[in-house]
Amino acid sequence: MGAFLLRRLLTAIPTLFVIVTLGFLLLHAAPGGPFDGEKAMLPEIRASIEAAYHLEEPLPLQYLRYLGQLARGDFGPSFQYRDTSVNELIAQGLPIDLTIGGLALLLALLMGIPLGVVAAAKRDTVWDRIGVAFSLLGISIPVYVTAPVLVLVFAVGLRWLPAGDWGGGAWRNLVLPVVALSLPYIAYVARILRASLADVLHAPYIRTARAKGLPWRTVILRHALKPALLPLVSFLGPAAVGVITGSIVIETTFGLPGIGRFFVDGAFNRDYTLVMGVTVLYGVLIVAANLVADICYAWLDPRVRLE
């Protein structure tokens, strides 16, 4: 187990390396620097600011310096928010993203798994058709549509819930963002589980279980469900990516101060260090999600040895 973890962590390094390098090159290829928007500066002042941020150094040197910083877990100072480090901004924003993203994934599993089981158990009936149609609809309607519509119905129309704002993480403020973010994932989870469960139900050991006289309910819940969950586990990686991009929209729509907002603002204002920091963080989150997925996979499927 230890060796497996170590090897997985080692293979994550090239991924992070690609992210950092690509991001660094792109941002420095950008025309215009972070301080162009300011009112005209004396050349001396400009030079000293740029020296403070090491912007006058040759690119390879800046790159190495940045890698060195990252290795120490330091994302550097933000260009846009003076006197604030990117680490501090991330520390402010990340809990919000983790709360919303985590709750959304949880809700997706809680709703999607039963839906998928029902669709697979009642395969080729009307229920199945309806379920398939709805889950395809869920995938086809993106978060930036469902979020405003939910606001319209539940905040503007019915006035049950606030239309936005973090509100210190009160549950009333959380409901709409979490539901909006989770809807497509409920659909994905149901779809994936329906397909894999239908596959598993053709296996000989299921026929054996049926032949023993076990009722369908027991066969599905006790015998078929666990192996059928495997594809769902591998979906965890892509789901993490989706929740991250989705949370950018959610934060914009609901006015939440998460890192997605910082990211979009930073990209517009050429806040190199902030954009890079968030991108690297996203990469780390995705790598971590994939790692967790692999561990769960091995735990669920004893045939996969953690070697």
Please report, as ranges, the residues that interact with other proteins according to CB under 8 A.
12, 14-15, 18-19, 22-23, 26-27, 29-31, 136-137, 139-145, 147-149, 151-152, 156, 181, 184, 188, 191-192, 194-196, 199, 231, 235, 237-249, 252-253, 263-264, 267-268, 270, 275, 278-279, 282-283, 286-287, 290
Tell me whether residue 77 or residue 231 sits nearer to other proteins (CB atom). Answer: 231
Tell me whether residue 220 or residue 278 sits nearer to other proteins (CB atom). Answer: 278
Tell me whether residue 23 or residue 173 sits nearer to other proteins (CB atom). Answer: 23
Tell me whether residue 49 or residue 241 sits nearer to other proteins (CB atom). Answer: 241
Question: At closest approach, how far in Å is the CB of 289 from other proteins?
Answer: 9
Question: At closest approach, how far in Å is the CB of 49 from other proteins?
Answer: 21
Instruction: Find all residues with CB under 8 Å of 188, minimum gap 6, and list them.
Output: 108, 112, 135, 138, 139, 235, 239
Question: At closest approach, how far in Å is the CB of 203 from other proteins?
Answer: 14
Tell me whether residue 220 or residue 243 sits nearer to other proteins (CB atom). Answer: 243
Tell me whether residue 52 or residue 130 sits nearer to other proteins (CB atom). Answer: 130
Residues linked to residue 77 through DSSP beta bridges, in sequence order: 85
Question: At closest approach, how far in Å is the CB of 48 from other proteins?
Answer: 26
Question: At closest approach, how far in Å is the CB of 22 from other proteins?
Answer: 7
Question: At closest approach, how far in Å is the CB of 290 from other proteins?
Answer: 6
